[in-house]
């Protein structure tokens, strides 16, 4: 679902605003004015701190004073524009200068709008609201474009996949069958080992073809009441030996009672296995903790997979849910795990998300719980 761009979500604050203002009195007035209507406000007093702040948790809008100690507001605006465009980061210049040249200079430096001191509270609020509305619209369009692009990719893929899978599965079956036969008559251990490797490779190809097909063609579902705890336990048991031999401290934390959801146990297991294997693979590059937990929260079953391996890079993060996005070598990843998982979770009426910091990465999902049993 793409949320409507015109209204901010009801429970969310209106947005985060960075005020850059060296004059303490003006800063205080602006901050109070904006906090009153529900904005989160950060106040800094010079350009260098403003740029640092932008690099961190980027605000939704900047109110930027022109006259600052050191770097001027105009320079800050100019530098910020080299990184973020006017829709990603609206900048409102605030100044006492009213001559046309100053106004032009501010717009030339990339300001979205221009406000003159002394402030009128109502005007500032209205101009900020207008910029934020525009920003939401742009964000909405960007998401629609992403959806369309993904949809496009998938329909082309759907057409191709059936044919390719057929063409690959047949020769694979021949290779597999002959390798099996030869393995039975293998003259020595070296030949047998080679043949076993061939069989493993065949198996892996079959899985990839199966994944691709499973993704583009929706499999018929077998639905019923499923205990998420039981599925997690089964999935964990599949990998536990693997995990602990690699020196990982793995744990599974479940409540005593059942966690019933309505869905397809096989598909849910596929999701959990994908998340578990991703966590395992991340731990090869550092870290050693893998913690899976599930609990009941507000009529939903919440499941999380945490590992303290290296975080997902910021430039990869927006793409990890895309089909075929992978950072792994070809023999290790096809980039379908998360795309499939997200689709399955959504088909179960749930949602899945990720947070990744230096402390680790956690994938969290929520599934609607079956209640009143």
User: Site residues for ligand ATP, window 332-351 (CB under 6 A)?
Assistant: 333-339
Partner whose footprint covers residue 131, from ligand ATP, Mg ion, none (CB < 5 to 8 Å by kind): none
C-beta of 114 vs 305, nearer to ligand ATP: 305
Distances (CA, A) of 158 to 38, 49, 145: 47, 50, 20
Taking the complex as a whole, the smallest distance from the CB of residue 267 to Mg ion amounts, in Å, to 16
Distances (CA, A) of 101 to 98, 104, 163, 184, 251: 8, 5, 64, 88, 65
* Angle of the 189-216 helix axis to the 121-184 helix axis, nearest 10: 140
CB atoms within 10 A of CB 99: 8
Query: Does 327 engage in binding with ligand ATP (CB under 6 A)?
Result: yes
Q: CA Rg, the chain, in Å?
A: 27
Query: Does 269 engage in binding with ligand ATP (CB under 6 A)?
Result: no
C-beta of 258 vs 337, nearer to Mg ion: 337
Contact criterion met (CB below 8 Å) for 321 and 312: no
31-39, 74-82, 162-170, 324-332 -> range binding ligand ATP (CB under 6 A): 324-332
Say how many residues touch ligand ATP, by CB under 6 A: 21
Whether omega before 118 lies within 30 degrees of 0, making that bond cis, reads yes
Q: How far is CA 218 from the centre of its chain?
A: 23
Partner whose footprint covers residue 336, from ligand ATP, Mg ion, none (CB < 5 to 8 Å by kind): ligand ATP
Q: Determine how β-strand 249-253 pairs with β-strand 289-297.
A: parallel
C-beta of 112 vs 274, nearer to Mg ion: 274
Binding string, 326-345, against Mg ion, x = CB under 5 A?
-----------x--------
C-beta of 92 vs 292, nearer to ligand ATP: 292
Structure-token pair, residue 130: 């207008």
What is the binding site for Mg ion (CB under 5 A)?
A: 278, 337
Binding site for ligand ATP (CB under 6 A): 274, 278-279, 282, 307, 309, 312, 316, 320, 325-328, 333-339, 361
């Amino acid at each position: 679902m793409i949320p409507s761009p015109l209204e901010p979500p009801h429970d969310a604050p209106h947005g985060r605003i960075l005020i850059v203002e060296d004059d303490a009195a003006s800063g205080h007035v602006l901050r109070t004015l904006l906090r009153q209507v529900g904005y989160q406000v950060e106040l800094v007093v010079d350009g260098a701190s403003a740029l640092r702040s932008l690099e961190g948790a980027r605000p939704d809008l900047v109110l930027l004073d022109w006259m600052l100690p050191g770097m001027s507001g105009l320079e800050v605006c100019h530098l910020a524009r080299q990184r973020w465009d006017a829709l990603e980061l609206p900048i409102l210049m605030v100044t006492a200068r009213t001559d046309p040249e100053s106004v032009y200079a501010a717009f030339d430096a990339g300001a979205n709008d221009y406000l003159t001191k002394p402030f009128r509270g109502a005007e500032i609020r209205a101009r900020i609201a207008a910029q934020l509305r525009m920003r939401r619209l742009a964000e909405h369009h960007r998401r629609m474009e992403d959806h369309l692009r993904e949809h496009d990719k998938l329909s082309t893929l759907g057409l191709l996949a059936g044919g390719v899978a057929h063409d690959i599965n047949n020769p694979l079956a021949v290779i597999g069958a002959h390798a099996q036969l030869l393995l039975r008559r293998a003259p020595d251990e070296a030949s047998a080992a080679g043949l076993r490797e061939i069989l493993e490779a065949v198996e892996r190809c079959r899985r990839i073809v199966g994944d691709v097909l499973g993704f583009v063609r929706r499999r018929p579902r077998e639905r019923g009441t499923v205990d998420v705890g039981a599925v997690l336990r089964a999935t964990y048991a599949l990998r536990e030996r693997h995990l602990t031999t690699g020196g990982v401290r793995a744990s599974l934390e479940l409540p005593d009672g059942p966690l019933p959801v309505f869905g397809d146990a096989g598909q849910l297991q596929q999701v959990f296995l994908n998340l578990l294997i991703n966590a395992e693979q991340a731990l090869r590059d550092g870290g050693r903790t893998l913690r899976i937990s599930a609990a009941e929260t507000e009529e939903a079953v919440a499941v999380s997979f945490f590992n303290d391996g290296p975080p997902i890079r910021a430039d990869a993060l927006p793409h990890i849910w895309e089909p075929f996005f992978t950072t792994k070598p070809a023999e290790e990843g096809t980039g379908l795990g998360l795309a499939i998982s997200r689709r399955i979770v959504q088909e179960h009426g749930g949602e899945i998300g990720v947070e990744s910091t230096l402390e680790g990465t956690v994938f969290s999902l929520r599934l609607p719980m079956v209640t009143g049993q």
